[in-house]
Chain A
Amino acid sequence: MKIGVFVCHCGSNIAGTVDVAGVAQAAKNFPEVAFATDLLYSCSEPGQEAIVQAVQEHDLDGVVVAACTPRMHEPTFRRAVERAGLNRYMFEMANIREHCSWVGKDKDANTRKASDLVLQAVEKLRFDRPLQAKSFDINKRVLVVGGGVAGIQAALDCADGGLEVVLLEKTSTIGGKMAKLDKTFPTVDCSSCILGPKMVDVSMHPNITLYAYAELESVEGYVGNFEVSVKKKATYVDWDKCTGCGLCMEKCPSKKAYDAFNEGIAPTRAINIPFPQAIPKRAVIDPTYCRQFIKGKCGVCAKVCPTEAIDYEMQDSFVQEKVGAVITATGYDLFDYRKYGEYGGGRYPDVITSMQYERLLNASGPTGGHIQRPSDGREPKKVVFIQCVGSRDKSVDRPYCSGFCCMYTAKQTILTKDHIPDSQSYVFYMDIRAPGKMYDEFTRRAMEEYGAQYIRGRVSQVYPYKDSLIVRGVDTLLGSQVEIEADLVVLAVGAEASRGASELAEKLRISYDAYGFYMESHPKLRPVETNTAGVYLAGACQGSKDIPASVGQGSAAAAKVLALFSKDQLESDPQVALVSQARCVGCGKCVQTCPFGAIQLAEDRAGNPKAEVIETVCQGCGLCTVTCPQSAIQLQHFTDNQILAEVNALCQQAMEESFES
């Protein structure tokens, strides 16, 4: 075997703390290495060409590139190796950047380490075998989880592209957070006027199946062939019969139900349709408030319903769907404003969240768009906005910037002035973050045209005094304390991962960060992909985002799915398990262990039971390889001999025995 080794400088990223030329020199003495050199940027076009040329000139059988993490450029170099005429699996990478040059300060130690890692890769490569991918059929349907604006956009784009879409929404209507907003920045256009038509499009689109009031129960399978189970939660109303007339809601005697859509600022009925433009416009009973459920008698809604749609006996039901790709668009939740005791949220009725204020501003909200204090219904004249409530604060474990609060606060000061011309708004801020088209101009308008007073500093305390709230804070620009007697205090609560995000991630087998936001495959270059093939991200589930960014990402995720489905077949990863018929004793342990059902027992010509791997189903985890008492089933490209060769390379001793034959 003739192996070529290419050690990358990565500019100064590696060469700064590793003697790159020295590593290449050392590699010349490694077993079966026929060629070794260093390259300035191996992933660049000239770098890749140098590899291709060397393969052809020196007639190499395999290539080792010592550079960055294989999670970044392994596919790049595999393609280069293939261009040179080799099988793409006759290639190994040594990670001498993320695992070496970037984490060690001592150049000598780093160089020794890099050299070890190259030897490790060479030893593994000696056991590499050419592998061929298999093709398999795919199901060109897509599941979109979450019916906020990102999910709506993704669903519509996929459906317009000709795909069948299954859209899942956990509440009884699509629309998400955007449906609650009054106006949107920086244009101050009506939120429901721009979202409403899109929601209607979803309901009318022949390619979209909408499951509202439903959740993802389980996911099986893999890219191209997922099988999902959808839980349709009991609504206690037969939606096939319900016409959304709202008569039940009018007559319902239980008038103290929590209104999630209105953020709890006013109660709703135990049976309700969240808002007039809801899609689907169907009623749902909340059994925690319904008298029929609590006291066992009432039945008013069942009596008044003209279509006899009420069904108190309804149970959760499950639907199975087959799809080829999944887009998660589960959005975000708001920070719990009660965590800041000093602001008194939850204790003082006139300290409210920005989303509650949005509902007060909204003409279809519980106050008909008239701003009223929750405590006494009085119109506030002095409104204080406190920004960064649950953003950029390590003490509440929210060190990140939520990104959109500066903008919506500016919007709310403008709307306050529009609603109450003789009002005055004050905004306590840390910094104004307004990077975006027309964004900074917008915050300037709030200050200059609408007279909002911006005070740079934090608030130390809010407390009631007689009929108003005293807001005490600091003006760091003036270097003085500030006290404002306010009628209403609005907390600009930040975004956090939606509740249940981690459970969904576990079902989809995707990663999430310390705060529960889903991890993209690469922060710059693969922002809507996950590390699980066929699962994509859209909107704030990946990190806090405003509406334009969410819509953009919804479309981006849809484009990824359309590209994936542009072929009729996908190539399977050939790094799968392979059974040695000679060694297999047909015990069936691998069959029991495989999480994917990718192994079955078949009979050989003599009628003996033998394990058989379904290559397009195998996901390449290697569980079976460790389970097999005979070492008969080996995960290709990660065989026992390969890993032991790496161990031996690192332990500098010759391998003396082999677990395989």
Chain B
Amino acid sequence: MSPELSYAYYPGCSGLSTSKDYEISTRAVCRALGIKLQEIPDWSCCGSTPAHTVDHVFSAALSARNLSLAEQMGSDTVITPCPSCLTNLKVAAHRMEQEPAFQQEVNRHLQEPCVNTVQVKSVLQALIQDLGPEAIAKQVEKPLSGLKIAPYYGCIMNRPPEVMDFDDPENPVAMDEILRGLGAEVLPYPLKVECCGASYGVARKDVVMQLSGKLLDLADSLGADAIATACPLCQMNLDLRQDQINAALKRSFRLPVFYYTQLMGLAFGLEEKDLLLNKLNVPAGPALAKMQQAAEAAAEQDAQTKEQ
């Protein structure tokens, strides 16, 4: 096992509700890899999209509070699975660093001022940069051989590049590398960073039908068995609304949409209680069965060649 990695951990609100499967599997995978997650005590919501549409100082203060709490823990890095939380934390830290006056204003709202010394990363970034793909691949017990996956990062994980400062903003590859290490076949999916429609699912469902529909269509046309994602909102639009999209576009997609951490857990041989695959709307069963068949066929072929 690699040297002990330890982080302050920010689960985010959706991790306790809509994306519980993401949160649980993230913790399970980190545990399996020996990464220590210390949940920030008494953390609060990052404000998500609504906060910064109303008031930038308020929005930054919400994130600065969490950063300040992480500082008090004595941690130098905070990681979060959710790209939306990540964006808020990073934007707040970035702007406070650029504008000392802004930092002062933000700190007026806080009991304990934020010194802004903590680094913010996504769990994905920590996995690929601090741990490395080789260490992850080593942990694999049941390779995902034969599973064709379209990797989908969502639009905010890497953008804007000057704030997020991770991977190629137009063609990120971090998740590709991890999935490849799990033994899966990673498809060249060109719409990796396209918008899924995000929270328009509430106000303008038609927009999500079009945008997410396009993502599903491309994955389908490439022959994908499944989509892997790193964002709770993307996962919800693609998975939970897949039936709505089918109805709206007169299509019949049946593509399971996994969190990449669920796929890691699968390959690591973790149990259902750590993966919560049953929470997926489009069942994972057929894709996994196909993978199983492929694996068995390969094994049979292997055995035959050996006999000969």
Does chain A touch chain B in the assembled complex, meaning CB atoms less than 8 Å apart? yes
Partner-B contacts on A (CB < 8 A): 340-342, 344, 347, 461, 463-466
Please report the C-alpha to C-alpha distance between residue A347 and residue B171 in the assembled complex, in whole angstroms: 10
Q: How far is the CB of B133 from chain A (nearest CB, A)?
A: 21
Residues of A with C-beta under 8 A to B194:
461
Tell whether, in the assembled complex, residue B168 and residue A344 are in contact, meaning their CB atoms are under 8 Å apart: no
CB distance from A445 to the nearest CB of B (A): 35
Contacts of B169 in A (CB 8 A): 341
Distance (whole angstroms) from the CB of A470 to the closest CB of chain B: 8
Q: List B contacts of A341 (CB < 8 A).
A: 168-171
Residues in A neighbouring B170, C-beta threshold 8 A: 340-342
What are 18 inter-chain pairs, A to B, with CB distance below 8 A? A340-B170, A341-B168, A341-B169, A341-B170, A341-B171, A342-B170, A344-B190, A347-B171, A461-B190, A461-B191, A461-B194, A463-B190, A463-B191, A463-B218, A464-B190, A465-B218, A465-B221, A466-B221
Give min CB distance, A329 to chain B, whole Å.
37
CB-CB nearest in chain B for A462:
B190
Give complex CA distance A463, B221 in Å: 13
- The docked-state distance in angstroms from the alpha carbon of A344 to that of B193 is 13
> Which residue of chain A is the closest to B218 with respect to CB atoms?
A465
On chain B, the residues within 8 Å of A465 by CB distance are 218, 221
Nearest 10 Cβ contacts at the A-B interface = A341-B170, A463-B190, A341-B171, A342-B170, A341-B168, A466-B221, A464-B190, A463-B191, A465-B218, A465-B221
Q: How far is the CB of A339 from chain B (nearest CB, A)?
A: 10
Residues from chain A with a CB closer than 8 A to the CB of B221 are: 465-466
Closest B-chain residue to A348, C-beta based?
B190
Q: Within the assembled complex, what's the spacing in Å between the Cα atoms of A466 and B218?
A: 9
Tell me the B residues contacting A by CB distance below 8 Å: 168-171, 190-191, 194, 218, 221
Please report the C-alpha to C-alpha distance between residue A142 and residue B194 in the assembled complex, in whole angstroms.
57
Closest to B217 in A: A465
Assembly CA distance A466 to B223 (angstroms): 11
For A344, what are the chain B residues with a Cβ–Cβ distance below 8 Å? 190
B159 to chain A, nearest CB (A): 11
Shortest distance between the CB of B259 and any CB in chain A (Å): 24
When chains A and B are docked, how far (Å) is the Cα of A619 from the Cα of B275?
78
Q: Which residue of A lies closest to B190 (CB)?
A: A463
Bound CA–CA A461/B195 (angstroms): 12
CA distance A485 to B168 in the complex (A): 25
Q: Give chain A nearest CB distance to B272 CB in angstroms.
A: 36
Residue from B169, B170, B190 having most chain A Cβ neighbours under 10 A: B190
Give the complex CA separation of A344 and B191 in angstroms.
11
> Which residues from chain B contact A340 at a C-beta distance below 8 Å?
170
A80 to B219, CA, bound (A): 78
Report the separation of the CA atoms of residues A344 and B170 in the bound assembly, to the nearest whole angstrom.
9
Q: How far is the CA of A342 from the CA of B193 in the complex (A)?
A: 10
Cα separation A485 to B190 with both chains bound (whole Å)? 15
Contacts of A342 in B (CB 8 A): 170
Q: B residues within 8 A CB of A347? A: 171
Q: How far is the CA of A461 from the CA of B189 in the complex (A)?
A: 13
Q: Determine the residue in chain A with the shortest Cβ distance to B192.
A: A463
Residue numbers in B under 8 Å from A464 (CB-CB) = 190
Looking at the assembled complex, report how far the CB atom of B267 sits from the nearest CB atom of chain A, in whole angstroms. Answer: 27
> Taking the nearest CB of chain B, how far is it from the CB of A310, in angstroms?
44
Closest to A340 in B: B170
A63 to chain B, nearest CB (A): 52
Min CB–CB distance B183 → chain A (angstroms): 24
A461 to B169, CA, bound (A): 13
Within the complex, what minimum Cβ distance (angstroms) separates B209 from chain A? 16
Chain A residues positioned under 8 Å from B191 (CB to CB): 461, 463
Chain B residues whose CB sits within 8 angstroms of the CB of A461 once the complex forms: 190-191, 194
Measured CB to CB, the closest approach of chain B to A15, in angstroms, equals: 39
- Residue on B with the closest CB to A470? B190
Alpha-carbon separation in the docked complex, A199 to B194 (Å): 51
Residue of B nearest to A343 (CB): B170
Beyond the given pairs A341-B171, A344-B190, A463-B218, 9 more chain A to chain B contacts, judged by CB atoms under 8 angstroms and listed by A's residue number, are A340-B170, A341-B168, A341-B169, A341-B170, A461-B190, A461-B191, A463-B190, A464-B190, A466-B221
The answer for the CA separation of A463 and B187 in the assembled complex, in Å, is 13
Whole-angstrom distance from the CB of A441 to the nearest CB of chain B? 38
- B108 CB to closest chain A CB, in angstroms? 35
Q: How far is the CB of A31 from chain B (nearest CB, A)?
A: 50
Q: Which residues of B contact A466 (CB under 8 A)?
A: 221
- A127, B69: Cα distance in complex, Å: 69
In the assembled complex, the Cα of A347 lies from the Cα of B192 at a distance in Å of 14
> Which residues does chain A contribute within 8 Å of B171, judged by CB atoms?
341, 347
A509 to B199, CA, bound (A): 59
Whole-angstrom distance between the alpha carbons of A341 and B168 in the complex?
8
Which A residues lie within 8 Å of B190 (CB)? 344, 461, 463-464
Question: Min CB distance, B240 to chain A, in Å?
Answer: 25
- B286 to chain A minimum Cβ distance, whole angstroms, is 24
C-alpha spacing A464/B222, complex, angstroms: 10
Closest beta carbon of chain B to A375's beta carbon, Å: 14
B218: which A residues are within 8 A, CB to CB? Answer: 463, 465
Within the assembled complex, what's the spacing in Å between the Cα atoms of A134 and B103? 66
A470 to B242, CA, bound (A): 23
Residues from chain B with a CB closer than 8 A to the CB of A463 are 190-191, 218
- Report Cα–Cα, A340/B218, bound state, in Å: 22
A340 to chain B, nearest CB (A): 8
Distance, CA A466 to CA B217, complexed state (A): 11
CB distance from B164 to the nearest CB of A (A): 15
Cα of A466 to Cα of B168 in the assembled complex, Å: 24
In the assembled complex, how far is the CB of residue B130 from the closest CB belonging to chain A, in whole angstroms? 25
- Complexed CA–CA distance, A466 and B221 (Å): 7
Q: How far is the CB of A100 from chain B (nearest CB, A)?
A: 33
A124 CA / B166 CA spacing, docked (Å): 57
Instruction: Give the CA-CA distance A58 to B218 in the complex, in Å.
Output: 88
> What residue of chain B has the Cβ atom nearest to residue A460's Cβ?
B194
Query: What's the Cα separation between A340 and B168 when bound, in Å?
Result: 11
Q: In the assembled complex, how far is the CB of residue B118 from the closest CB belonging to chain A, in whole angstroms?
A: 29
| A472: nearest chain-B partner, CB-CB | B194
CA of A350 to CA of B143, assembled, Å = 34
Minimum CB–CB distance for A579 against chain B, Å: 57
Minimum CB–CB distance from B102 to chain A (whole Å) comes to 24
Report how far A465 CA is from B169 CA in the complex, Å. 21
CA–CA, A340 and B169, complex, Å: 10
In the bound complex, what is the Cα–Cα distance between A550 and B258 (angstroms)? 58
CA–CA, A42 and B169, complex, Å: 56
Measured CA separation A196–B226 after assembly (Å): 58
What's the least CB distance linking B122 to chain A, in Å?
Answer: 19
In Å, the complex CA distance between A88 and B171 comes to 64
- Bound-complex Cα distance A344 to B192 (A): 13
- Return B255 CB to nearest CB of chain A, in Å: 17
Q: How far is the CA of A347 from the CA of B170 in the complex (A)?
A: 12
Roughly how many angstroms separate A58 CA and B169 CA in the complex, as a whole number?
A: 72
CA distance A344 to B218 in the complex (A): 16
Report the Cα distance A466→B170, complex, angstroms: 21
A342, B158: Cα distance in complex, Å? 13
How far apart sit A340 and B171, CA to CA, in the bound complex (Å)?
10
Bound-state CA distance A461–B168 (Å) is: 15
| Alpha-carbon gap, A461 to B171, bound state (A) | 11
Smallest distance from the beta carbon of A338 to chain B beta carbons, Å? 10
Smallest Cβ distance from A73 to chain B, in angstroms? 43
Cβ distance A56 to chain B, nearest Cβ, rounded Å:
62
**B169, closest chain A residue (CB):** A341
Docked pose: A445 CA to B115 CA in angstroms: 62
Residue of A nearest to B170 (CB): A341
